[in-house]
């Protein structure tokens, strides 16, 4: 097997493995679309499932040859170790603060990587059997992953939005995913932002997060107390400040109210 074919079969399979891991997590979370999307859009996850996994595949192949054992059992064992090792390293700062928490985080995270890495081994064995298979396997996975990242899929039913100069109000029958709220702001101004949730079931997962591009316009600081959703905005340039609210099958309403501070 040539070097290019070896590389293409590994990287194509790595993208398939990442897609499978996304689907597994989506099922595990009960189709929590916002949480699964946040996982998929995390650069660390791409580094683990593409870069680290590919490097591991070369290392595991080298170790199997050194040990003179290229059996399936040996490879499965090596990929299991690879799937756990990354978390032993990633969570190493927790060793000194809470060893039990460190072990828990490693074992919990390893559930997904160990299963995915073992699947990588078997799929890659299939992909390397012909020169076309890496592309047949990998290209559709890349397309699907890009569509998910760009589209950020969500389920929205009965969404009604009302927005004025100082308030955004949305009511909905169901939201599973994310919605972006754009708040008009002016450079040099300070605002107080209050968010009020009115949900049929407060126990369902829900929350806010700052859109990555929001930091280009200024800073956002939490100033609330207890269960208050209260923030202070310090704006550096004109624009529309994007804030995301998300939830899993939530029903009710949400309001954003922003007032300029003296």
- CA-wise closest residue to 170 among 241, 253, 245: 253
Tokens for 76, please give them.
């499965």
d(CA 251, CA 74): 50
Q: What is the pLDDT of residues 121-171, one digit of tens each?
A: 999 999 998 889 989 999 999 999 999 999 998 999 999 999 998 999 999
- CA-wise closest residue to 206 among 248, 170, 255: 248
d(CA 76, CA 59): 13
pLDDT of residue 212: 83
Helix (H) or strand (E) holding 12: helix 3-28
- CATH topology for the 155-260 domain: Jelly Rolls (2.60.120)
Count the helix, strand and coil residues of the chain and give each as a percent rounded to the nearest 5.
Answer: 50, 30, 20
Q: What is the pLDDT of residues 163-193, one digit of tens each?
A: 998 999 999 999 999 999 999 999 999 999 9
Domain boundaries, the chain: 3-151, 155-260
Share of the chain above pLDDT 70, in %: 99
d(CA 131, CA 129): 7
Q: What is the pLDDT of residues 74-129, one digit of tens each?
A: 999 999 999 999 999 989 888 888 888 999 999 999 988 999 999 999 999 999 98
Quote the distance between the C-alpha of residue 247 and its chain's center: 15
Number of Cβ within 10 Å of residue 164's Cβ equals: 8
Q: What is the mean pLDDT of residues 220-239?
A: 90
Look at residue 211 and tell me whether its pLDDT is greater than 90. Answer: no
Please name the residue that has the structure tokens 């400040």.
241
d(CA 184, CA 9): 48
Q: What is the pLDDT of residues 31-82, one digit of tens each?
A: 999 999 999 999 999 999 999 999 999 999 999 999 999 899 999 999 999 9
- Are residues 180 and 254 in contact, defined by beta-carbon separation less than 8 angstroms? no
pLDDT of residue 262: 66
- Work out the pLDDT band at 215, boundaries 50, 70, 90: confident
Mean pLDDT of the chain: 92
Q: What angle do CA 88, 205, 200 make, to 5 degrees?
A: 170
Q: What is the pLDDT of residues 12-30, one digit of tens each?
A: 999 999 999 999 999 988 9
């Amino acid at each position: 097997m040539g070097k290019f074919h070896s590389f293409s079969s590994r990287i194509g399979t790595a993208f398939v493995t990442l897609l499978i891991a996304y689907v597994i997590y989506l099922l595990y979370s009960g189709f929590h679309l916002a949480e699964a999307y946040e996982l998929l859009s995390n650069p660390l996850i791409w580094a683990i499932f593409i870069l680290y996994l590919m490097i591991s595949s070369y290392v595991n192949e080298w170790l199997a040859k050194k040990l003179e054992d290229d059996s399936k059992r040996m490879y499965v064992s090596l990929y299991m170790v690879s799937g756990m090792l990354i978390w032993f390293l990633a969570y190493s700062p927790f060793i000194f603060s809470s060893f039990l928490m460190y072990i828990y985080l490693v074992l919990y995270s390893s559930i997904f990587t160990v299963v995915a890495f073992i699947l990588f081994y078997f799929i890659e064995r299939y992909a390397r059997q012909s020169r076309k298979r890496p592309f047949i396997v990998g290209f559709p996975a890349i397309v699907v992953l890009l569509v998910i990242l760009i589209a950020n899929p969500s389920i929205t039913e009965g969404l009604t939005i009302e927005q004025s100069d100082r308030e955004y109000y949305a009511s909905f029958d169901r939201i599973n995913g994310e919605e972006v709220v754009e708040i008009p702001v002016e450079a040099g101004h300070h605002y107080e932002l209050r968010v009020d949730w009115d949900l049929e079931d407060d126990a369902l997962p829900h929350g806010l997060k700052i859109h990555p591009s929001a930091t280009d316009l200024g800073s956002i600081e939490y100033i609330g107390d207890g269960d208050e959703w209260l923030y202070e905005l310090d704006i550096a340039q004109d624009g529309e400040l994007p804030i995301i609210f998300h939830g899993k099958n939530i029903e009710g309403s949400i309001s954003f109210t922003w007032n300029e501070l003296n």
